[in-house]
Structure formats: C-alpha cells, structure tokens
Structure 1
Amino acid sequence: MSRPDGLSSGRPLGLAESAALLDPWIGPGAAYRGAVLAVSGGPDSTALMGCAALAGRGVPVIVATVDHGLRPASTAEADGVAGLAARLGLRHRVLAWTGPKPAARLQEVARAARYRLLADLAREAGADLVLTAHTLDDQAETVLMRLCAGSGPAGLAGMAPARALGGLTLGRPFLSVPKARLVATCEARGWPFVRDPSNTDPRFGRARLRRLLPLLAEEGLSADRLVRLAGRLRRDEAALSEAAEAALRDLRRPEPDGEGRLVLDGLGLAALPEAVALRVVVLAVGAVQGAAARGEASHYPARLDRLERTALGEILPALREGKACRRTVAGLLLAAGGGRLTLGPEPPRRPRTPRPE
C-alpha cells in the first residue's frame, strides 16, 4: 500500500534494521566518544531515542530536549520525553532557550539556538557527536524549499548524512527512512509521542510546502524522486568541490604585500570550466574571510547569486580579455588585472565632503 506522496506506508523498523542504521554512530566499535540525541518528543526523534535504547551498548548517549519556550505545552512535552527516557534507561537533560525571541525568521533563529545548545551539552558531557532524527520526508522538503529559493547544486544536494558542528559531528542516521515508518515504530513499541503544531502552521514556508508534496507526487515529483535528485547532486557537487580545491592549490600565487590578501593566476582561472572556476572563487573568498576573522575583522557571508554574477559575468570575462576589473563582494575587493586575480579586504571608503552651502 502506498501513500499519496509516494512513500511506503508505515512499517515498523525491526531490531536488525534499526541497529544497522545506528551501529555506525553509537554501536560497539563506533568511532565516537559519546553522543547527544536530540529528542523533541515528536515521532521521529522518539523513535531515535527508543531505537538507541534497544541497540547494543557501545558509545555512551545522553538524550537532550530543547525547550524553546515558544508554546505553553513545551515544558510538559519536555517532561514527557524525560519520563520515557527514564523508562528506557537513558540519561536526559532539558536545555532551555532563554532570552528575547525574534519577531522575524523565528524558525531559523530557533534552529541555530537549538544546535548551539546541543553542541554545548555535547562538549560538557565529553561527547563528540550530536544525532538528529531527520527523515526522508525532511530531506524532500529541504530540497523543494531550496529549489523554490533558486539554490545551486550544493543547496539542492539537501542535508548531508553527516556534517561538522562546531568541532563536533552532526549525524542523521534516519535520513533514508520515511517518517511513516518511524511513526509506525513508535506505535508498535508503545512509545508515546506528540505532534508539534508548527509543522502544519501556514505561517512557515516548510509547512506550506509540506501540504504541496502529495499534489506534486501526483505529477511524478514524489519525495523519493526529490531525495534521489539530492543524492545525485551531492555526488556531483563532491566531485566539483574536489576539482575546485585542487585548482585553488595550483592557481594560488605568493602574496606580494603579506597577509590579508590572496592572489590567483587569473589566466589559469579563466581557462577552467565555469562550474569549477566559480567554486575556486567561492573557496578563495572564504579563505580570505577566514583569515580576516582570525584577525578580528568582520565580514558577512557572500551570497552565491552575487558571486555568480560577479565572477562569471565580470571577473572571468575581464581576465580572458586582458582587461582590468575591480568589484566588491561581501566586504572584499576582487581585482582582476595583469593576468592575476587578487582578493583582499575592501579599502575603507572616503568620507563624503559636504557640499558648500
């Protein structure tokens, strides 16, 4: 039996299947010292906690519930997670997000606060891994959201199974599992869970897109196909990134004026395929911004669309034609000329001279 969005209907995870998903992270012989399980009380994270409790003892784990304080029921939900964790024999901590809450971009800011609190707890506990219960459905929604935002291949590659998180690792062991199977697992095991009303709140873009998925699936754009797209783009993006990193090493030239700038062989850069050349510029911008950050200078992240317009539309054509071109991006000056591309901090702007009255 199939669901309207193309996902398989709810079939509980068996012990062997859940162990295969979790063993690389927390099973006997896993490479991590300890793990924090992010558990909100919803069916996905409740299944993560329950399956971890059933798994063979390997890496020590601690369950963490972040109470954002955004809904009256959040404290009771955190208490419910604590009760189930105790029943399963797992340690539990409630992490409170305190302080004023923003009126705009609430979900984005709350997500950043959640990861910060989880990482802080991991360091305190001597753990080096944070596990979340993102599912195949979450991956499909992420890809669709980024498609609507006009993201490039890196964005459409979706969420990675693992990524860095402030010197730790953030892992997503259930990223290939449909949500329906985790709901069925909780129901079959008698693990109580709650449903977050924000998941269906039309004020939030993800919730609005979630309602569209069944309609898109009827036209062939199912969650499974969105996830396959993400996997293909992740594979291609990895190859392009590796090529760009190698090209940056080959094209880098000594900096004549010391630190704070990066010089590239402009003719070699312009001869690269544009997809690789753009990534070389992105990496170079990131390297200069990283050096500036260590020197306590402040820069804001460069937007891909702005870098794309500047690099592909102006800098690379100027290098090919032997013309000079100077453009500022994200607080940096990109200067093409003399067969080179130089990146460095944007010079301070001259104060305007007031007009005589």
Structure 2
Amino acid sequence: MPDDDSSPISASDAKRLFADWKAAPALVLAVSGGPDSIALMWLAARWRRSVSRGPRLVAVTVDHDLREEAAREAREVKRLAHALDLEHRTMRWRGAKPQAGVPAAARSARYQLLAQAARSAGATHILTAHTRDDQAETLLMRLLRGSGIAGLAAMARESKRDGLWLARPLLDVPKSRLIATLGKAGINFADDPTNRDAAFTRPRLRALLPTLAAEGGDARSLARLAWRFARANAAVEIFADGAERYLALRGSEARPGGYDAKAFAALPEEIRLRLLKRAIDRYGHEGPAELGKVETLLAALDRAVADQVRLKQTLAGALVSFARDRIRVEPAPIRRQGTKRTSS
C-alpha cells in the first residue's frame, strides 16, 4: 500500500487491508462515529461489495451515555450504515458510571458490549479502527508506565480475547489517510471533544506528538519501534515456551505448577519472570498479575532459592512457595468476605 500520509485509500488498498478476514462468517465493525471508525465502516463496505463471497458485516455503535451528543451520533452512524447496506446495532452502557478511571471503565464496557453483539450476530471477529497514530500513543503511554517488552509491543494486528478475535486492519494506516478518504467520498463524521480533553492521559500525549515528530519521533517511527518490540517479544516467548517444556521434563512430581528450583534458577531472568507470571496467571483467580509485583516476587524467590530458605507468598490469587528444591505455584485459598490475605 502506498505510504503517502495524505492520500485517500483506494479500492485495491482496501481489498488488501481486509483480505485476512474474507473467510469469516461475520464481522462486527466497532463504529463510534468519529473519523477513524467511519472510515473503517466505509472501507469495509466498499471491500465487501468488491468480493463475490465474504462475511456478513454488522456495524455496532456503543453509546456510553457520557455525552449528550452520543445518542444523536449513534443515529447518524445508523443512517450511514443503512445507506451502505450494512446492518447496525446500538449498544448502551447503562447504570452508574465511576467517579474515577472513566476511560478504562468505558473501554471495558465497550468491549463487553461489542462482544455481546458479536456473539449475537455469530461473528468471529470484532474490527476496530485503531490507526498508526493510536499505536504510537499506546507505545508512549506504556513507556511512561514502565511496561516490559510485551507491553511495549503495543497493539497487535489481531489478538484473541474470550473466544473472539480483535482485529485492527488500519493499524499501519495514518489517521490523515482516513480523513483524506472520507473527504474524497464526501462523508461527514462526528467530533468527540474528549479526544482533546487534557484531563486524560492520551490527549495530553497526543498534543506532544508534533514536538516529538520534530525530533524524529513521529508516529511512523514510534509504530515501527512497537513492531520491533513485538518481534523481540515473539522470539522471547518461543524461548519461554521451550524453557517451560524443559522444566516439565525435569519435574519429579506429578502435581501441576511445580518447577525444579535449580533448573529454574539457571534460566535467564527474563525467562524466569515470564514463567512465573504465566504460572500465577494460570493458577491465580484474581486476574492477570502486575508485572512490577511479579518482579518483586521473583527477586524474593531468587533469594530464597540461593539461601535455601522456605518461601510462601500469594499474588493475584496464586500461592507461590519454595521448599525442598521445589518451586510450586497453585491456587491460593479463596478469601472470606471482609478478610485480607497475608504474605509470608
């Protein structure tokens, strides 16, 4: 696809962007009404008309009930979807909204509603309109939070979640090309002022991008960096897979979640960290463990193995222990309501 950042996306470009999902039975298009998602819907409809057989397309708009304009914008998306011969559904985030952490809560609610619509439609994939600009912003956000290699890989073109695939066909497309595409087609789109609200992290970082670009850190370079992290992460994951199989072969007990401590200690720190996090996420019952907390626990575990002292700690609903040259990770006892778990 041509890399002119201001050129409209052609029909042949669109065909390449969506080719990976031609065999899917149905696709849900996440369409908020902004320029990126409107372009996604318009391009997907154009692509679908160009192929003799392809998936059923269902545009879904999530009304978060956070802005007065949201309901009107959903109706505008519905009108355009019908003009493009696409099905459309509006899903509403009902109930009380949190006082803090609204963006994260809204993202979680949006995914749940999109997943609900996808299952109802028999769709295997949810297509979102994340662009190269979004990828660059995500990298910056995770860099500032001190993410590891996996986090700095930012967003993948395709990832699986709860039995559904999240697909991002526009991930290497600059936002400017989408706006140029809509301009050429004469299609209007909504303007969400929260995208410029400096009360939120992403808009503040977005405002910094022109300054970073002047120093060579434009969206293209940042997205390329994320891709390089993704490449490195994939290689390390293969190493971790092999190490996990090796430790399983070295295991002397049939019970799950155990490692030979000496063999584990001989592995590189990054591999030990990943294996420990995998085990905690596998056997824990309180969601994915935070990387920083796993790093702290690994340091304590390494000291215990080196000094040959017993260790027993809980993290994210998993119990991690070391005794008699054996490291174990297993589900922690469920806490009773109103009690706190302690580490030892």
Q: Which residue matches 2:267?
A: 272
Question: Which region of structure 1 is more displaced relative to structure 2, 267-276 or 325-334?
Answer: 325-334
Superimposed CA distance per residue, residues 300-345 of structure 1 (whole angstroms, 9 cap, x where no aligned partner)? 432110111220x221233244343333322333222322101224
Q: TM-score, normalised by structure 1?
A: 0.87
Residue identity opposite 2:159 in structure 1: R
Q: Which residue matches 1:123?
A: 119
- 2: distance between equivalents of 1:45 and 1:14? 17
Superimposed CA distance per residue, residues 139-176 of structure 1 (whole angstroms, 9 cap, x where no aligned partner)? 00000000111111111000011111321111000000
Give me the CA root mean square deviation: 2.1
Secondary structure of 1:78's counterpart equals: helix
- 2: distance between equivalents of 1:188 and 1:201? 29
Superimposed CA distance per residue, residues 247-298 of structure 1 (whole angstroms, 9 cap, x where no aligned partner)? 2232133656x6xx62111111100111111111111112212xxxxxxxx4
Equivalences for 1:1-357 in 2 at 5 Å?
9-25=5-21, 27=22, 30=23, 32-55=24-47, 56-57=50-51, 58-252=54-248, 253=251, 262-289=257-284, 298-311=285-298, 313-346=299-332
- 1: distance between equivalents of 2:136 and 2:200? 16
Structure 1 residues 15, 110: closer, same or farther in 2, change over 3 A? Answer: same
- 1: distance between equivalents of 2:317 and 2:62? 35
Aligned identity (percent) is: 44
- 2: distance between equivalents of 1:100 and 1:50? 33
Q: Tell me by how many angstroms 1:299 deviates.
A: 2.3
- Structure 1 residue runs of 5 or longer lacking an equivalent are 1-6, 290-297, 353-357
- 1: distance between equivalents of 2:88 and 2:7? 28
Residue identity opposite 1:306 in structure 2: K
Q: How many residues align?
A: 330
CA contact (8 A) 1:8 1:178 kept: no
CA contact (8 A) 2:281 2:316 kept: no
Residue identity opposite 1:75 in structure 2: A
CA contact (8 A) 1:269 1:277 kept: yes
Structure 1 residues 199, 191: closer, same or farther in 2, change over 3 A? Answer: same
Superimposed CA distance per residue, residues 167-212 of structure 1 (whole angstroms, 9 cap, x where no aligned partner)? 1111000000000000010010111111111100111110111001
Q: Which residue matches 1:293?
A: none
Secondary structure of 2:95's counterpart equals: coil
Secondary structure of 1:158's counterpart equals: coil
Q: Tell me by how many angstroms 1:62 deviates.
A: 0.7
Residue identity opposite 1:287 in structure 2: R
- 1: distance between equivalents of 2:92 and 2:253? 47
- 2: distance between equivalents of 1:245 and 1:262? 15
Question: Which region of structure 1 is more displaced relative to structure 2, 244-253 or 185-194?
Answer: 244-253
Runs of 4+ in structure 1 deviating by more than 4 angstroms, as ranges, are 347-352
Q: TM-score, normalised by structure 2?
A: 0.91
CA contact (8 A) 1:143 1:157 kept: yes
Residue identity opposite 1:324 in structure 2: R
